[in-house]
Amino acid sequence: MLRGCSGALAGGLVMLAVLLLAGWLLTTRTGSAGPGTGMLLGHWLAAVVAVAAQVVADHRVDRTGTLAALGVLGVGAATLGTYWL
């Protein structure tokens, strides 16, 4: 169950990063206010780290896999808490 939740969160972070990129591209073309470069890079970095940790969690059924899954949850919580609260 932990690995399923962390997998969903990792996928959600990737989707959020893609949506932010689309919003950034749209707002830079129209001159509107939108997500800044720091927010965009932060989300992409978090998505890459979360996916890498999720790959480890999916391939290891021992303590390392559990810690990797918990790491995904930590990265997700830190990213959402930093940028969205």
- Calculate mean pLDDT across residues 59-78: 96
What three-state secondary structure class fits 22?
helix
pLDDT of residue 32: 87
pTM over 0.85: yes
Domain count within the chain: 1
* Cβ atoms of 36 and 76 closer than 8 Å: no
pLDDT of residue 34: 87
- Is the model's pLDDT at 67 over the cut of 90? yes
pLDDT of residue 31: 86
Q: What's the pLDDT band for 49 if we cut at 50, 70, 90?
A: very high
Can you read off the two tokens belonging to residue 72?
């995904």
What distance in Å separates the CA atoms of residue 33 and residue 73, rounded to the nearest whole number? 30
pLDDT of residue 68: 97
Structural domain of residue 80, as residue ranges?
Answer: 1-84
